[in-house]
Structure 1
Amino acid sequence: MSEASWHEARLIPTSGISGADEQERRATSALLAVMGVVREFSRALLSPLGAPAGTVETFIEVPFDLGDKRVYPDGLIRVSRGSRSWTALVEVKTGKNDLATEQVENYLDVARERGFDALVTISNEIPPVAGQHPTKVDKRKVRKVALHHWSWTYLLSTAVMQKEHRGVSDPEQAWILGELIRYLEHPRSGALELDDTGAQWVPVREAVTAGTLRASDRAAVEVASRFDALMRYASLRLGRQLGTEVLPALSRKEQADPAARAQAQLSGLVADGLLRGGIRIPHAVAPILVVADLRASRITASIDIDAPREGRATTRVNWLVRQLRGAPDAVRVEAFVANQRGAGATELLGKVREDPSRLILDPKKDLRSFQVALSAPMGSKRGRGRGGFIDSVLDLVDAFYGDVVQHLKAWSAAPPRMRDPVQVVEVPPSLVSTSHSSQDGPEDPGAPTQP
């Protein structure tokens, strides 16, 4: 038998997973064990939850009595530093299994009775807004116990960023974290990527096309929420590739009031057939705006950038074109002048390269900003793969960032230059003329005359 058929030994094997229970148990044990060993990884996960920087202990399937029954949370995390201790219960779901409200509330009761600090849930559910929990629970149960949620996509992204970009000080710990990454990336681990927009996607898309969608349709609410979840997934995915924290672009009002964000998304879907989302990348000139037009079956990614504050209009257009030298000709550029209302002059980048004046309607007006956009056909299927909506969005985001956004830099004025010192030429006295010249000023009437 050739060595090609041999399977390399792994610290966390995917073989032998016989069902959902075994999948959850193995994923829980692998994650918590690595958190207990790799300090930087556990700190990256637990610090935002309020845990101290201390010794991390982890346990699985810890039994607790709750009234007349016994419950078994999937795990428990305890962090100790000096006399301070922080403890959280852990509930885990893998594959397509969703968290159950009754189970979550039971564990919140256990945590409250024992004075634990938090309950952390883990599943493939991705909330549309960071900090929001995918499961609705009685608000009274979270008054004394914090409720947090990690998606498997978030955990995988955090692990990759820590190992590949932020770094792990101990080589052996880095290898262990790499084994967790390898395990979570395997399809049998149950840590799935976002692969479905939900059963309501096709009916809602057809209703938008027919003009029959109404705000009262519950299916529209679900699709609007799942699009925001897709933007969060796209942000995590892009951040994993870039090695930095990429987040959905939300206003302070939207972050503070997720219901208002959901209502605005729903209104745009019903009125215009549009789903809108944004992605904010550190140090990029501006957030990426993503718009899915369900009526036109097109997806557009765009970014706004301020024009230089000096130079002629053609100089400002050329400044942008030089930065887009590697972008495809199909990129659309729109130019806006000061105090403009409505659309500006717009043209494809290929035409602008040939003639920058295509973006200049009036050379006398002050050109203030540009919008750069790339459009692609929208996938119609609810799942992943060829013709899928999710992949069409992710592919466009990747292409737009790679071809356009990462090359754009904001304009900054050049610092003033020092003037060269004036060179004084010494003139010999014999060459100094005292004769009156036409270049001299008028004579002073009171001045004495030469005899």
Structure 2
Amino acid sequence: MTEAAWHEARLIPTSGISGAEEQEQRATSALLAVLGAVREFGQGLLKPLGAPSGLIETFVEVPFDLAGRRIFPDGLIRVTRGKREWVSLVEVKTGRNNLNGEQLENYLDVAKEQGFDALITISNEIPPAVGVHPTKVDKRKLRKVAIHHWSWTFVLSTAVVQKEHRGVSDPEQAWILGELIRYLEHPRSGAMELEDMGSSWVPVRQAVTSGTLRSGDVGAADVVARWDALLRYVGLRLGRELGTDVTQVLSRKEVAEPQLRVQALVESLASQGQLFGALKVPDAVAPIHITADLRAGQVSCHVDVEAPREGRPTTRVNWLIRQLKNAPADARLEAFVLNGRGPGVTELLGKVRDDPSLLVQDPKREIKSFRVAVSFPLGTKRGRGRGAFIDSVVESVDTCYADVLQQLKAWVARPPRMRDVDLPPAKESALSSTALSSQDGPDYEGQDS
């Protein structure tokens, strides 16, 4: 037998997992152990929840009594720094198992009785927005105990970004974190990526295609929630590759009242058959705007970029074209003029490369901004794989970022230059009545009075 058939020993093995219960227990123990062992990783996950930067201790299946019943949360995290102590219970689900509201409320009651700070839930459910929990619980139970949710996609992305991009100071801790990443990436770990658009996807999609969907139809809100979850998943996945935090773009009103975005998306889906959203990559010139048109069967991504504030219109067009060397020829360019209303001048990138003047409608009008858009076929299947809706959106965003957004740089004005003026030496004259001035040109000869 050759060494190629040998299996390397792993710190956290996936072999021997016999069922969902053991899968959850192993995932819980592995994650909590690494939280305590790798300082940067533990602080990166817990500090945003209000935990201090201190000693992290983790425990599994800690027993508590609640109204005569024995309660066993999956885990407990305790962080101490000096006299300050922060404690959170942990509930974990793997695979397709979803969190249970009644169970979570019991844990919230335990946390309140014990004076703990929070309850952390971990599952493959991705909430539609940051700060929104995927499971409904009685809000009265959250008056003294906070509830936080991590998707396994978020945990994995955070681990990869910490190890590969931000770094781990201790080499042994870096290896331990790498073992956790290997485990979570294995299909048998139960830490799945977004796999499904939900049971409402097919009937809602068919109603959109036939033009019979109404904003009040059952299932429309569920599809909209899944869409925002998909955008968050795409952002986490892209951020994992880039080593940064890619976030969904929401208005202040949408953050304060998430229902406003739900209503806008449902109305757009019913009236136009479109789902929309945007992702922001730090230091990129602009957000990526994503539109899934279910009626047209297309997903489009576009980027809006400010044009240079100097130069002729064709000069500004050429400035953009030079940065789009890797963009496909069928990318659509649109030029907007200053104080203009309505759509701008539109043409395909391939044609504009040959003739930049195609984006100039009036040479006397100043171009204010450009839009670069790329479109792709939209999948229809609710799951994953070839022809799937999720995969088509993921691939479209990745391609748009690689071919368009990461190539673009914002225009920067040149700094003002000092005037080159060679002044002749001053004539020595006690009677000279005129001193040299900054307004004198190179032909100044001076005058004797």
Q: What one-letter code is carried by the residue in structure 2 that aligns with 1:144?
A: K
Stretches of structure 1 lacking an aligned partner (at least 5 in a row)? 428-451
Q: What is the alpha-carbon distance in structure 2 between the residues aligned to residue 63 and residue 264 of structure 1?
A: 45
Q: What is the alpha-carbon distance in structure 2 between the residues aligned to residue 218 and residue 82 of structure 1?
A: 53
Aligned to 2:435: none
1:333-389 per-position Cα deviation (integer Å, ceiling 9, x unaligned): 000111222111101100000001111111111110100000000001111111001
1:12-411 correspondence runs (5 A)? 12-411=12-411
TM-score by length of 2: 0.94
TM-score by length of 1: 0.93
Q: Secondary structure at the match of 1:218?
A: coil
What is the aligned length?
427
Q: What one-letter code is carried by the residue in structure 1 that aligns with 2:366?
A: D
Stretches of structure 2 lacking an aligned partner (at least 5 in a row)? 428-449
Aligned to 2:422: 422
Aligned to 2:444: none
Deviation at 1:304, TM superposition (A): 0.3
Q: Which consecutive segments of 4 or more residues in structure 1 shift more than 4 A? A: none
Mean alpha-carbon deviation: is it higher for 358-367 or for 104-113?
358-367
Q: What one-letter code is carried by the residue in structure 1 that aligns with 2:247?
A: L
Aligned to 2:434: none
Deviation at 1:421, TM superposition (A): 2.7
1:400-448 per-position Cα deviation (integer Å, ceiling 9, x unaligned): 0000000111111101111113253899xxxxxxxxxxxxxxxxxxxxx
Mean alpha-carbon deviation: is it higher for 195-204 or for 351-360?
195-204
Q: What is the alpha-carbon distance in structure 2 between the residues aligned to residue 61 and residue 291 of structure 1?
A: 44
Mean alpha-carbon deviation: is it higher for 413-422 or for 46-55?
413-422
Q: Secondary structure at the match of 2:409?
A: coil
| Identity among equivalent pairs (%) | 68
Q: What is the alpha-carbon distance in structure 2 between the residues aligned to residue 212 and residue 328 of structure 1?
A: 36
Mean alpha-carbon deviation: is it higher for 340-349 or for 108-117?
340-349
Q: What is the alpha-carbon distance in structure 1 between the residues aligned to residue 42 and residue 425 of structure 2?
A: 73
1:98-121 per-position Cα deviation (integer Å, ceiling 9, x unaligned): 000000100000000110000000
Q: What is the alpha-carbon distance in structure 2 between the residues aligned to residue 15 and residue 408 of structure 1?
A: 46
Q: What one-letter code is carried by the residue in structure 2 that aligns with 1:393?
A: V
Q: Secondary structure at the match of 1:87?
A: strand
User: Which has the greater radius of gyration?
Assistant: 1
Q: What is the alpha-carbon distance in structure 1 between the residues aligned to residue 4 and residue 326 of structure 2?
A: 42
Deviation at 1:255, TM superposition (A): 1.3
Q: Secondary structure at the match of 2:219?
A: helix
Deviation at 1:218, TM superposition (A): 2.0
Q: What is the alpha-carbon distance in structure 2 between the residues aligned to residue 375 and residue 155 of structure 1?
A: 31
C-alpha RMSD of the superposition: 1.1
Deviation at 1:162, TM superposition (A): 0.5
Q: What is the alpha-carbon distance in structure 2 between the residues aligned to residue 140 and residue 294 of structure 1?
A: 40
Q: What is the alpha-carbon distance in structure 1 between the residues aligned to residue 219 and residue 38 of structure 2?
A: 43
Q: What one-letter code is carried by the residue in structure 1 that aligns with 2:25?
A: R
Deviation at 1:3, TM superposition (A): 1.8
